[in-house]
Amino acid sequence: MTPLALTTLGIALVALTLATTLAVAPDAARRWIASFPRSRAWAWVLMSVAAVWSGWLVLHTPLGRFESWKPAVYLAAPGAILLAMRYVDDLLAPRALGAILLLAPSPILAMVRAADTQWSCAVAAVAYLMVAAGLVLVVSPYRFRTCAGNWTPTDRRCRILAAALAAPALFLATLAVAVL
């Protein structure tokens, strides 16, 4: 399998895992979704991943005349984690999830550019949807709670959301295995 196929399969598996959880245990999923925005543990984990990933990108990106500032990244990334946890702790978990959703499409789109199939446009569309979701979560993390409250108030709606997640996930998994 190509790296793009593996990445696409990974995205599909994450979506299928969410869909399965929503379909099989909607009450537990609803409780987890309700507690996620204020979860300090998830905020620490996701913010750390986002800061380390951002630092890695800065270290491996040509910065031209700012190249001499790269060693500061070793202090800036941990400092960003600590400052965010101290001063932006309100709804930090959705913000950090949004940051990861903004970072993840970069390698995905690099793989799409190298792919020689037209079906890679479907993966590019998913990557751009991730960017849009990331922007919304970073700018207005309260929308996570609003959307989660609207989409998952009952078991029936959780299962409808599960089906809505599973359909494109199965399409992406099929695409990854058969085409990419």
pLDDT of residue 90: 85
Q: How confident is the model at residue 180 (pLDDT cuts 50, 70, 90)?
A: confident
Angle formed by the axes of helices 92-103 and 40-59, nearest 10° = 30
Using one digit for the tens of pLDDT, what is the confidence trace for 50-59?
999 999 998 8
Which residues in 55-124 belong to E strands, given as ranges? none
Q: Which amino acid type is present at position 10?
A: G
Using one digit for the tens of pLDDT, what is the confidence trace for 76-120?
888 988 888 888 878 999 999 999 999 999 999 999 998 888 889
Rg of the chain, C-alpha, whole Å: 18
Using one digit for the tens of pLDDT, what is the confidence trace for 17-43?
999 999 999 999 999 999 999 999 999
pTM score of the predicted model: 0.88
Q: Is 73's pLDDT higher than 90?
A: no
Q: Are the beta carbons of 167 and 7 closer than 8 angstroms? A: no
Q: How confident is the model at residue 179 (pLDDT cuts 50, 70, 90)?
A: confident
Sequence-distant (6+) residues with CB within 8 A of 124 are: 108, 109, 112
